[in-house]
Amino acid sequence: MISLPIVDGNPSDSGVKVWRSLPHLEQDPQLIETASEEFFPGASDAPSGSNRRQFMQLLGASMAMAGLAACRRPVEHIMPFADRPEETIPGIPLQYATAMNFRGTARPLVVKSYDGRPVKVEGNGQHPNASGASGVFEQASLLQLYDPDRSKSTLRTGTPANWEDFLSLCQRLQTGIRRVAVLAAPDNSPTRARLRTQLENQFPGALWVDYRSEGDDAESMGLQMAYGQALQAAYDFENADVIVSLDADFLGPHAKNGGLDTYSFARGRKLNGAQDRMSRLYVAESTYTVTGIMADHRRRMRSDAVSQLASQLATALGVYTGATPDSFASAIARDLQRTNGNCIVVAGESQPAEVHALCALMNYALGVVGTTVTLLDTGTPVQVAQSQSLPALVEEMRAGRVDVLLMLGVNPVYDAPHALDFQGALERVSDTIHVGLHVDETARESTWHIPSAHYLESWGDGRSQDGTLTAVQPLIAPLYEEARSEIEILALLGSGQFQRGYDLVRETWMPVLPGEDFETDWRRVLHDGYLEGTSYPSVAPVPSFGGQLQGPGTGLELVLRLDPTVLDGSFANNAWCQELPDPVTKIVWDNVLVVSPKTAEDLELSCEYSKGRYYSDVVTLAANDQVIELPVWILPGHADDTVSVTLGYGRNISTTRSERDTPFWDKDDETDVYARGTLATGVGTNVSLLRDLLARPVISGVELTKTGRKWTIVTTQDHGILDTEARPIVRMATLDEYREDPAFALQGEVPTPGSDVKTDFQDYPELWKDSHPSKASAFRDSDYWQNQWGMVIDLNSCTGCNACIIACQAENNIQVVGKKEVGNGRELHWLRVDRYFVTEGGEELDADPKIAVQPMPCQHCENAPCESVCPVAATVHSPDGTNQMIYNRCIGTRYCANNCPYKVRRYNFYNWSKTIPGTVQMAQNPNVSIRFRGVMEKCSFCIQRIRGAQKRAGLEKRALQRDEVSSACQQACPAEAITFGDLNDDQSQVSQAMSNARSYKLLAELNIKPRVSYLARVHNPNNALGSAG
Amino acid sequence: MASSTNKTVTLPAGADPPLVTGNLGFHDITQLVSYHTEKRPPSAWYMAIAVSSTLLCVLLIMIAYLVWNGIGVWGNNNPVGWGWPIVNFVFWVGIGHAGTLISAILFLFRQRWRTAINRSAEAMTLFAVICALLFPTIHVGRIWVIYWTLPIPNQMEMWPQFKSPLLWDVFAVSVYFIVSLVFWYVGLVPDLATLRDRARNALRRRVTGFFALGWTGANRHWRNYEKTYLLLAALATPLVLSVHSVVSFDFAVSIIPGWHTTIFPPYFVAGAIFSGFAMVMTLMILARKIYGIQNIITMDHLEKMAIIILLTGSMVGFAYITEFFIAWYSQVEYEQYAFLNRATGPYAWAYWTMMSCNLLFPQFFWIKRLRRSIPFLFITSIIVNIGMWFERFVITVISLHRDFLPSSWDYFNPTIVDVLTFAGSFGLFMTLFLIFLRYLPMVAIAEVKMVLPESDPHYYHKHDSEGEEH
């Protein structure tokens, strides 16, 4: 029972003391104890039961507890829209044009928002410099917004601090002479440029360094070297007949302009008729990349040997005097010259500026500048290479000549070369301010950390690749009150006054929109997302090259690249990105040291496949006095004597989220990828440390030692060589073969046993032909019957860049299962991109295989084998010809998945959707059910999009327009490889594509009548080089 | 009747050996069989029930863990949607075949030697089918709505999907279970009456009396009984063939290479009889030894079972080879690869375990000395069941793990939960079987008496005349 102390009548401070006895005066402990009550405890209690006071206490407590039971949830104020915001109809999504800064360029986007909550990112198709497609990173940026580990509050030396304190710091900094430096991620925003000037005016001598984690922007430096001014090149791959890539992965998802370049490249290879033209792509590269997959001739070589090829090529073209061209280089040169100015030579990011300059020279000599290569004058002054400016800044910092360092969206403690000792220099700066999405490596070492607002939460602007002014507008208020955008902090530091991003951007745009009515123009810009006619002017100066090409290095070469799934590590805490298989190796949740089979043999490295997982040798890699450990991965087609690895792993991000801990019988803590702190922490190894002071991506003479330990590597697909003869899964031919027989793909059909006659599978005898469900009146009488949905995937366009996978994941609420469960074969991607190594004429796997990629969604078979085996009719055919999965009805026998010949059905082995963190729940598409544990799921042809479009058409009392519906994968695909639509409409894109001569259906011989057709792939080899190329 | 034990029976040369040895009379048989349900069980029984009920508890814990967490606690993955649970299901259904075969088909074929083993074989069938039913039940992802597989009228007007072989399974196996249960119970009625008549305490008398349905052994009772038994045997006979045929449809009706095979129904039935007899043999060798009923379940019975094992084992082996031949003959890459992958792929060890256990070992039964050797019979019966478990593993897992598109190929690894659940199902089976041994007559008393020479209506006439000659 609760006993309350008796009020002590002892006034201690008044000076006058009232006392009863001497022991009382002397504070005798024994007396105090007994005197606390006049009688001993309990003496005054009622003889039995409760006394009045206890009764009242109990009564009160029980009342209080009864009241508590009714308020388990915190009180929230749910307000009706008394005044409905304009154009807002609950449940009807709104779309806003915005843009995302990707590696310094704005990528124009349209973002879909449900009830104020952005749920899907698409490309802005109306933008003059965008295709309407989007890539892996645009799609995945949505989950960045909802990342549960995002930084939420201002930190001062690691502890939560007041925003007011930071404000006053900035005000204080305005007075006196401060030496300010800014280290910022590249961004071509005009507002930022304006604020930079403001800052430089306020703090004379302020240093500004654009910081790229991958090091120098070799392309810009190369162009600058050749032309003497800061230029930017834009390539028109569509109209190029011959494209030469010197280690350039320009189609890669991480490429600076990957989306647009893929779009134009794919357009240059669309084959609708037998006589259509098709470009030819030569690729020289060290590791296998997405661009290498698309190559017609691929030459694997060390990255530092590519400059030799460039030199040979330039010599053959007569613009340089270098090495004597070999047969490969001279054949390419002849091919380039043959095109009469419709060709492109590009060099890659891992190549030094000299090679880029030589490319510029070659392009100029080939007369393509102005036709397929456009040089844009960005108007920026001559740039200093990062390899010069960054060490200079660090030197200043170390010398104590920097008082304030502002770091905007960068993480140099993690990714600056170790030789720089950035962290050490940081300690010498009195005020270091880090603005970022996460409490990352740099945030923890800085005196101040300000949570950065995501681009979907902030106002801003930028320029697209061609310079078109593009607006960035928020779709949601910052999820965390203290989050501020980078320009707001920059303005604050520059002026001492906090200004809202909106005002900052408008101020920049005032002079840009000088018309009578700024508001109208401004609204127009926000609506469209861009301002027409603001692209950079194109110029055509004369290049020169006085540089010296370096010869190939010695010893083992290491090449560092940006990762096609987590980029430089900024997407490392993104579950979608971590679980996205690498386009070539298909590895998830890891970075590996990629080596060729021969190099692996020479170095006695192994990567053993056992029981669904790979067990790789862990090696130590030593360069520039740094040693790291990495598991190896043996990749056929990789160049010998060189190894490659991607940046962006080995992150260490802090979080305030508590770890999920469940009792031993509950596996939630094991199956929840978010259960153990931040996702990125502990995945892979940070390799950026190995770089030298100049952060060069190619390191010669690395030392590689086996540790004797093994590391488990998980892939979504096993190694395996495809015998295209026996299993005509991916069908391929050369351009000549295609011209001879455009329908060559059907040659691949399995002949009827015992004869050479190909069977038309449409003519297969069919059981119950007349009583097939599709003939039933329930189908025929349905309104849905008038549309029959189908899909065509052009294997000649698909690069395997993964954009479709992430788009599908974002659209369809596909959960992430983590490394262990992917290893168990339980990944949930509805759409996968299959990768096959293809060798011809019984070559060894090691030699130089081609790679074929094939996106694999549900094929929506008309005679679906999954439907007939479900005991509860949970998967059925819709009248509009899609194979539907009824989650509510599914009891989870998994029979359908077994009987699917494409194995595209995915099963919820655990309750993955149960443990999604609250913020990630906001990323879920409200039009798609979240699947419970124990049910099957699979590609639905984005049925919610079909029904949405039909609903819209119904409301507007009109018929569905031609090609009005697009699937998420189709919309994202930068190569336009996926066509989706109504097969009942002869004029629809999909019907047109299906009638393409290259069309074939996979496993048609099973008589399952898939609704997805593939267009066979065509290679365009140079006959002068032979097929081996 | 007691005097009959001293009577020596001499058989004419060339006649079949007696089905009951040791010169047992009617009362001896009653006494020998009933006695075990009335006395304290042997200590071996206690040890066995301790082990098996522990395993049963493991099973229950594993099921609770499974239902709490989801199917992910097993090794099943994307290409291999069915793993051990379905392997175990087919394994137990197969074992559950011998009982009805012995009871019904051998009854119709007037194989009188069946009487010694039919009771326990039928009991074994029931318990095996219970184990079998358990696995498809727990292997669904949402066990709480499994009743949707039953055609229960509902306001959604939603019926099960009758084209699905899984639904056929539901019907086939549940019908088989019900018919087997009725058949077994009908056969038990006269023996329950015997127990009732021998009962010393009221409770036992009341319980056995209730289940004996007022059996008095009247002529009218016997006539009805014989008719019912014959009818039920006729009803059960097609089920023996149908159940495993339907189970094989789960595979044969699909389109997966290695599953899509028309040979499956007869091959599965042969395999089921094969494994069922092996299981009966394992259990009978132990029971006859422990309970001292070697005179009722004689060496001749065991030898006959061995011959059936040899026959069905050869049939199964023939089916394995036929599958290979057809795969080659089809000229279909996918089929050819599926079988090549069985023999040489990552699961080749499972395939060759199956081949040696099922095809090779039973061939030793060509040698009479071996098929009359208790240790050899015992070992072989266990090996056969190991082989038959692997047969189902080979069919289910190896076919699934590599099918049409090499991109989806993966490997299946069982988890500890898979292993313990399977082990636990033996706990369930053995617990039920031990309870049966404890409380019910393990040998059909009435039926065994019918095969005694004395039950021949002409027996006394013949023997009396023989006696006159002496």
| Model confidence pLDDT, tens digit, residues A479-505 | 998 899 999 999 999 888 899 999 999
Instruction: Tell me the domains of chain B and their CATH numbers.
Output: 19-142+159-455 (1.20.1630.10)
Phi-psi label, residue A589: left if phi above 0, alpha if psi -120 to 50, beta otherwise = left
Confidence of residue A1 (pLDDT cuts 50, 70, 90): very low
Closest CA–CA distance from residue B415 to any residue of chain A (Å): 11
Query: Taking CB atoms and an 8 Å cutoff, what residues of chain A touch B350?
Result: none
> Looking at residue A12, what is its pLDDT?
47
Query: Taking CB atoms and an 8 Å cutoff, what residues of chain B touch A872?
Result: 148-149, 160-161
- Note the pLDDT tens digit of each residue in A518-557: 889 999 999 999 998 899 999 989 998 887 888 888 889 9
CB distance A824–B409 less than 8 Å? no
Which residue type, as a one-letter code, is found at position B389?
W
Which candidate, B401, B140, B344, B350, places its Cα nearest to that of A824?
A: B401
Nearest CA in chain B to A754: B331
CB distance B158–A873 less than 8 Å? yes
List the single range of A39-48, A607-616, A806-815, B360-369 with lowest mean pLDDT.
A39-48
Q: Domain with A315 in it: what CATH number?
A: 3.40.228.10
Confidence of residue A785 (pLDDT cuts 50, 70, 90): confident
CB distance B331–A753 less than 8 Å? yes
Nearest to A869 among B136, B139, B254 (CB): B254
The answer to whether A360 faces chain B, any CB pair under 8 Å, is: no
* Residue found by looking up tokens 């409409």 in the block: A985
Residue that finishes a domain, picked among A309, A344, A377: A377
Query: Taking CB atoms and an 8 Å cutoff, what residues of chain B touch A911?
Result: 70
For a pLDDT cut of 70, what percent of chain B falls above it? 92
Specify whether A709 is located in the same domain as A794: no
Would you say residue B423 has pLDDT above 90? yes
Confidence of residue A1028 (pLDDT cuts 50, 70, 90): very low
Task: For residues B114 and B99, give the distance between their C-alpha atoms in angstroms, rounded to a whole number.
Answer: 10
> Looking at residue B295, what is its pLDDT?
78
> Looking at residue A11, what is its pLDDT?
45
Tokens matching residue A802: 């993964």
Would you say residue B470 has pLDDT above 60? no
For a pLDDT cut of 90, what percent of chain A falls above it? 57
Which candidate, A173, A176, A186, places its Cα nearest to that of A494?
A: A173
Specify whether A922 is located in the same domain as A999: yes
Tokens matching residue A735: 């351009």
CB distance B409–A834 less than 8 Å? no
CB distance B408–A903 less than 8 Å? yes
* Residue found by looking up tokens 């259960």 in the block: A675
- Note the pLDDT tens digit of each residue in A955-997: 999 989 998 999 999 999 999 999 999 998 999 999 999 999 9
| Assigned domain for A414 exists | no
CB distance A871–B79 less than 8 Å? no
| Assigned domain for A213 exists | no
Closest CA–CA distance from residue A866 to any residue of chain B (Å): 9
Would you say residue B44 has pLDDT above 90? no
Computed over every residue of chain A, the mean pLDDT equals: 87
Give the up-direction half-sphere exposure of residue B130: CA atoms within 13 A in the CB hemisphere: 17
Confidence of residue B137 (pLDDT cuts 50, 70, 90): very high
CB distance B407–A856 less than 8 Å? yes
- Strands A180-184 and A207-210, by their bridges, are parallel
B-contacting residues in A 627-686 (Cβ below 8 Å): 665-667, 671
Q: Can you name the residues that pair with A606 across neighbouring β-strands?
A: none
Nearest to B141 among A825, A834, A934 (CB): A934
> Looking at residue B417, what is its pLDDT?
95
| Assigned domain for A203 exists | no
Task: For residues A521 and A806, give the distance between their C-alpha atoms in angstroms, rounded to a whole number.
Answer: 35
Q: Can you name the residues that pair with A101 across neighbouring β-strands?
A: A106
DSSP type of residue A439: B
Specify whether A736 is located in the same domain as A688: no
CB distance A894–B404 less than 8 Å? no
> Looking at residue B7, what is its pLDDT?
45
Confidence of residue B70 (pLDDT cuts 50, 70, 90): very high
What is the enclosing helix (H) or strand (E) of A916? none
> Looking at residue A783, what is its pLDDT?
83
Closest CA–CA distance from residue A915 to any residue of chain B (Å): 13
- Can you give the residue range of the structural domain that contains A8? 1-78
| Assigned domain for A210 exists | no
Specify whether A706 is located in the same domain as A733: no
Confidence of residue A720 (pLDDT cuts 50, 70, 90): low
Query: Taking CB atoms and an 8 Å cutoff, what residues of chain A touch B253?
Result: 868-869
Tokens matching residue B304: 């006959």
Instruction: Report, in this order, helix, strand and coil percent for chain B, each rounded to 5.
Output: 75, 0, 25
Closest CA–CA distance from residue B161 to any residue of chain A (Å): 5
What is the enclosing helix (H) or strand (E) of B105? none
> Looking at residue A587, what is its pLDDT?
93
Specify whether A589 is located in the same domain as A725: no
Query: Looking at per-residue confidence, does A115 or B367 come out higher?
Result: B367
Query: Taking CB atoms and an 8 Å cutoff, what residues of chain B touch A1006?
Result: 255
Terminal-residue alpha carbon distance, chain B: 22
| Assigned domain for A166 exists | no
Confidence of residue A719 (pLDDT cuts 50, 70, 90): low
Nearest to B82 among A898, A906, A908 (CB): A898
Task: Report the Cα A475 to chain-centroid distance in Å.
Answer: 20
> Looking at residue B464, what is its pLDDT?
55
Query: Taking CB atoms and an 8 Å cutoff, what residues of chain A touch B166?
Result: 869-871, 893, 895
Q: Can you name the residues that pair with A645 across neighbouring β-strands?
A: A560
| Sheet order of strands, A180-184 included | A159-160, A155-156, A448-451, A431-436, A404-408, A180-184, A207-210
- Note the pLDDT tens digit of each residue in A330-355: 999 999 998 888 999 999 999 999 99
For a pLDDT cut of 70, what percent of chain A falls above it? 88
Specify whether A736 is located in the same domain as A699: no
- Note the pLDDT tens digit of each residue in A202-230: 898 899 999 999 888 899 999 999 998 88
- Note the pLDDT tens digit of each residue in B151-210: 999 888 889 999 999 999 989 999 999 999 999 999 999 999 989 988 888 998 999 999
Query: Looking at per-residue confidence, does A85 or B465 come out higher?
Result: A85
Closest CA–CA distance from residue A630 to any residue of chain B (Å): 25
Mean pLDDT on B226-252: 89
List the single range of A173-187, A680-694, B288-302, B320-334 with lowest mean pLDDT.
B288-302
| Assigned domain for A1002 exists | yes
Query: Taking CB atoms and an 8 Å cutoff, what residues of chain A touch B148?
Result: 872, 889, 891
Which candidate, B116, B178, B172, places its Cα nearest to that of B149?
A: B172
Query: Looking at per-residue confidence, does B33 or B81 come out higher?
Result: B81
- Strands A242-246 and A280-285, by their bridges, are parallel
DSSP string, A801-831: -SHHHHHHHHHTT-----HHHHHTT----SS
Q: Which long-range contacts (CB under 8 A, 24 or more apart) does B281-287 make?
A: B281/B305, B281/B306, B281/B309, B281/B377, B281/B378, B281/B381, B282/B378, B282/B381, B282/B382, B282/B385, B283/B120, B283/B124, B283/B433, B284/B117, B284/B120, B285/B374, B285/B377, B285/B378, B285/B381, B287/B120, B287/B437, B287/B442
Mean pLDDT on A659-671: 89
For a pLDDT cut of 90, what percent of chain B falls above it? 50
> Looking at residue A273, what is its pLDDT?
87
Query: Looking at per-residue confidence, does A875 or A843 come out higher?
Result: A875
- Note the pLDDT tens digit of each residue in B437-463: 888 888 888 888 877 777 777 766 665
Tokens matching residue B196: 């009732």
Cα maximum dimension of chain B: 86
Query: Taking CB atoms and an 8 Å cutoff, what residues of chain A touch B346?
Result: 611
Q: Any idea of the CA torsion for B85, B89, B90, B94, to the nearest 10 degrees? A: 150
Which of B65, B78, B149, B157 to probe the A interface (max A CBs under 10 A)? B78
Cβ contact A31:A23 at 8 Å? yes
Residue that finishes a domain, picked among A676, A696, A713: A713
- Note the pLDDT tens digit of each residue in A97-133: 999 999 999 999 999 998 888 999 999 989 988 888 9
3-class SS of residue B311: helix
- Note the pLDDT tens digit of each residue in A851-861: 999 999 999 99
Task: For residues B459 and B7, give the distance between their C-alpha atoms in angstroms, rounded to a whole number.
Answer: 13
Specify whether A938 is located in the same domain as A992: yes
DSSP string, A854-906: EEE-----TT-HHHHH-TT--EEE-TTS-EEE-TTT-----HHHHT-TT---E
Confidence of residue A1029 (pLDDT cuts 50, 70, 90): very low
Task: For residues A925 and A432, give the distance between their C-alpha atoms in angstroms, rounded to a whole number.
Answer: 39
Which of A730, A768, A903, A1009 to probe the B interface (max B CBs under 10 A)? A903
Confidence of residue A79 (pLDDT cuts 50, 70, 90): low
Specify whether A700 is located in the same domain as A780: no
The answer to whether A865 faces chain B, any CB pair under 8 Å, is: yes
- Note the pLDDT tens digit of each residue in A929-938: 999 999 999 9
Nearest CA in chain A to B330: A753
Nearest CA in chain B to A827: B78
Q: Domain with A638 in it: what CATH number?
A: 2.40.40.20
> Looking at residue B143, what is its pLDDT?
93
Tokens matching residue A564: 């096609």
Q: What is the ipTM of this complex?
A: 0.90
> Looking at residue A115, what is its pLDDT?
83
Q: Domain with A894 in it: what CATH number?
A: 3.30.70.20
Would you say residue B103 has pLDDT above 50? yes
Nearest CA in chain A to B405: A902
CB distance A821–B346 less than 8 Å? no
Which of B161, B170, B416 to probe the A interface (max A CBs under 10 A)? B161
| Assigned domain for A843 exists | yes
Specify whether A706 is located in the same domain as A739: no
> Looking at residue B25, what is its pLDDT?
74
Nearest CA in chain B to A729: B405
Specify whether A866 is located in the same domain as A1009: yes
* Structural domains of chain A, count: 4
CB distance B70–A824 less than 8 Å? no
Residue that finishes a domain, picked among A34, A49, A78: A78
- Note the pLDDT tens digit of each residue in A881-921: 899 999 999 999 999 999 999 999 999 999 998 889 989 99
Specify whether A926 is located in the same domain as A969: yes
Would you say residue B277 has pLDDT above 80? yes
The answer to whether A540 faces chain B, any CB pair under 8 Å, is: no
Which of B149, B250, B408 to probe the A interface (max A CBs under 10 A)? B408
Nearest to B77 among A753, A826, A832 (CB): A826
What is the enclosing helix (H) or strand (E) of A968? helix A968-972
Mean pLDDT on A1014-1028: 83
Task: For residues A635 and A848, give the distance between their C-alpha atoms in angstroms, rounded to a whole number.
Answer: 10
> Looking at residue A379, what is its pLDDT?
86
- Note the pLDDT tens digit of each residue in A417-450: 888 889 999 999 989 999 999 999 999 999 999 9
B-contacting residues in A 714-733 (Cβ below 8 Å): 717-718, 720, 722, 726-727, 729
Specify whether A239 is located in the same domain as A266: yes
Confidence of residue B71 (pLDDT cuts 50, 70, 90): very high
Counted across chains A and B, CB pairs separated by less than 8 A come out at: 183
Nearest to A901 among B76, B404, B407 (CB): B404
